[in-house]
Structure 1
């Protein structure tokens, strides 16, 4: 993962100490852990996933009253066969300490950055990062590459209207609270790859044998892929800490 931190002043933190807020991601296949050496079975077809990449921006912690505390930064999450598909750091920024009900973030690039000149931008918005559509004057927000029976597939989401907002703040459930302490907080997330292919255009089954489902960039299949992706992220389950009898967030590698 590479970071691009905005030049916003941190004056919002003046009344509270800042601590690191880290988001990690694990890939799943339905309710099970995903492994790169196992194919993703979609409608009876075996999809070998090569890489998953997406931008994380607009991160905000949500207070109990529903107001948001922005956490500045933009990062490019990269998950491929060279990285374990569990607890990969996808974002890190500074947040004020305190109690929160949850968090929200966007998958994509803010409009004010989406149409800048990628040839002069720094990572992770550089043209060398391979996430820019020169023909479409904008960035690819989310991409998955792989192959099915030797046929290469590329599934992309992009465009200002397709920035995904992931809302993980439920004001009706006290158990969803987050505490940013002096040492910071790591929030584990899941991306269910199976949900990306929940259905194809018009509600039909996703079929990699059809060209429309192999190279997906725009049109009705891309519209459905966007809707599928917007439902594929979730907050990972917490594990119990037997020493104190309350849930704690799992850390990388555990």
Structure 2
């Protein structure tokens, strides 16, 4: 079953592929998947034989974001608040860990790339999308906030484009994602996406491993992705909203495929 292996990791020489593997949930991020990511990232951080990490999703989708079935619970408000704050803090650190890897990280996006999926896409060094890809930051429509994806989204697209994406919270198509710089290139289909990926891998492997890692370090030294204290403030904001009546209504509306009460 997919949930037994929520993150499929394969390796061919210096190239590691991490495939989010919950296709029945459009690869929504579960606790188990997050833990698998954390194990992989810890291993890669000290692996000097791996040169490239490719991030993708199974079943024609990339990642639909956080599994909202794990946000709602029967716990007390205090328990929910603490749990959601810890979860969101870890999510933010996970994106930072991806960005800090010595390997070159390439995201290949098909289908849904929503909410936390945008974090994986934007934390990667290079991102490609198939024409089928769709992108969204729908958190405010669920009574939540895009706390830990926002710095990465803003770094990739600039504040103006990120602002519109997170406040309108609608879905944009691959061509628009390419126009605003959310991905570096849009390919017509999955076959063309794989062909471009292989070209990029070949190009990266022409570079010296140490020089590539040092170059990534210099890029990071140009400035932090978010100001000091933002990660903790974002985790707290997510926890507050995730524990609110708005989130309860927004998530219920999402599950029932209706508009939430604030949308009339």
Q: Same fold (TM over 0.5)?
A: no
TM-score of the superposed pair, with normalisation by structure 2: 0.25
Higher helix share: 2
With CA pairs under 8 Å and 6+ residues apart, which has the higher RCO, 1 or 2? 1
TM-score of the superposed pair, with normalisation by structure 1: 0.26
